[in-house]
Structure 1
C-alpha cells in the first residue's frame, strides 16, 4: 500500500475511480488477500461489443447452437507478438472447447507459451440472384476468447477424446478406451475455457 493507512488508501482509490470514470474506464474490485478493509484495484477497459448491434446474436442458446453445429473451428494463438490461426476439429461442451493435435508443432508450442487464445466458428450459405450485384451471404458466426490448457490427466484426456469422437462419428465415442491413449502417446488434448464470446448473424 506504499505506507498508506487503510483510510488513506480508500481515499486514494476513490480519487482514481473518479479519474478513470472520466476517461471511460472501469475498476474491478476484489478483497485483499490480507483481508484488510481496503480495496485492491484493477483497471479494466469497458468492452464495446459489436459495431453492428442489429446483427448481434443476443441469445446465448443460439450462440451455443452455432458452436455445436459448425464442423471446423479456427484457433488463434499469439507468441512473441506474432499471431497464428489454424483450422481445427473441435467439440463444444458446457462452456468449454476441446481440440486435439500432435504434441509437437506450433499450435501446442504457442499454447504452452501463452494460453490466452481466440476461437472462431461460422456456418454459412451463398444467396444467389439473377443479378450478380445482388448475391449475398447468409451466415452465423461466433468469436470466443478463453484460456487453453493441455490436459495431463488420462481420464480427462479420454473424456475429451470421447466427446470429439462422438461429434464426428456418432455412437463411436464410448468405444474409446485408455488403450487408445497408450497407442497414441504423441497426442495432446486441449481444453479451452471460454471467458467471453459474441455471436453475429446476417441477415439479422
Structure 2
C-alpha cells in the first residue's frame, strides 16, 4: 500500500470538502478529543462551542491543538488477515487555538458556519445570538496530510 503526502493545496481542498473532524486539546488530565463541525477560512479553522467546558478550559491553559479530518475510502480485504489494508485520506492540522473575542470576527465565523450547513437562504447571526456561544479559531501553523493508494 502506497501512502502519498498531499500538498497544502490538496489538503485544504479536502478540508474544505468535509464537515466533521476531531479537535485534540491538552489538559491537566492529558489529551482530550472533541468531535466538531467546522469551517475553513484561509489560514484559520472556526468552531462554535458552549462558552464553558473541558475543551474551552484546556485551550485557555494551553493553546496548542491538533485538528484531524479523515475519510475511509475502502477496506482492502486479503486472504491473510495480517495483509488487510485500507484506502483513506487523512489531514492533521497543527496550530494554536483562541477564543474569538472581537464581535466582528465572531459574527463572520458563525455566519460562515451557518452558510456551510444550512441549505438555501438563512437569517444572519446577530450580536445577541453570538454573545451566547463561544467561537474558537485555530490558526493553522502546519498541515500533515496523507492519502493511501493501491
With over 3 angstroms needed to count, the CA separation of the structure-2 counterparts of 1:129 and 1:56, relative to structure 1, is closer
2:135 aligned with 1:186, yes or no? no
Q: CA deviation at 1:141?
A: 0.7
* Distance (Å, rounded) in 2 between the aligned partners of 1:202 and 1:86: 25
1:142-161 superposed matches below 5 A: 142-161=91-110
* Distance (Å, rounded) in 2 between the aligned partners of 1:57 and 1:128: 20
Structure of greater Rg: 1
- TM-score using structure 1 length: 0.65
Contact in 1 for aligned 2:107/2:130 (Cα 8 Å): no
With over 3 angstroms needed to count, the CA separation of the structure-2 counterparts of 1:132 and 1:191, relative to structure 1, is same
* Distance (Å, rounded) in 1 between the aligned partners of 2:118 and 2:55: 24
* Distance (Å, rounded) in 1 between the aligned partners of 2:77 and 2:47: 38
Q: CA deviation at 1:185?
A: 3.1
2:18 aligned with 1:70, yes or no? yes
Contact in 1 for aligned 2:92/2:144 (Cα 8 Å): yes
What does residue 126 of structure 1 align with? 74
What does residue 176 of structure 1 align with? 124
Q: CA deviation at 1:186?
A: 2.8
Question: Structure 1: which 5+ runs fail to align?
Answer: 1-51
List per-residue Cα deviations over 1:80-117 (Å, max 9, x = no partner).
26111110111111111000100111011111111111
What does residue 166 of structure 1 align with? 115
Q: Which has the higher strand share?
A: 2
Question: Structure 2: which 5+ runs fail to align?
Answer: none
* Distance (Å, rounded) in 1 between the aligned partners of 2:76 and 2:143: 30
* Distance (Å, rounded) in 1 between the aligned partners of 2:111 and 2:49: 14
Q: Which has the higher helix share?
A: 1
Contact in 1 for aligned 2:8/2:143 (Cα 8 Å): no
* Distance (Å, rounded) in 2 between the aligned partners of 1:124 and 1:114: 31
Question: Which range moved further: 78-87 or 128-137?
Answer: 128-137
With over 3 angstroms needed to count, the CA separation of the structure-2 counterparts of 1:183 and 1:177, relative to structure 1, is closer
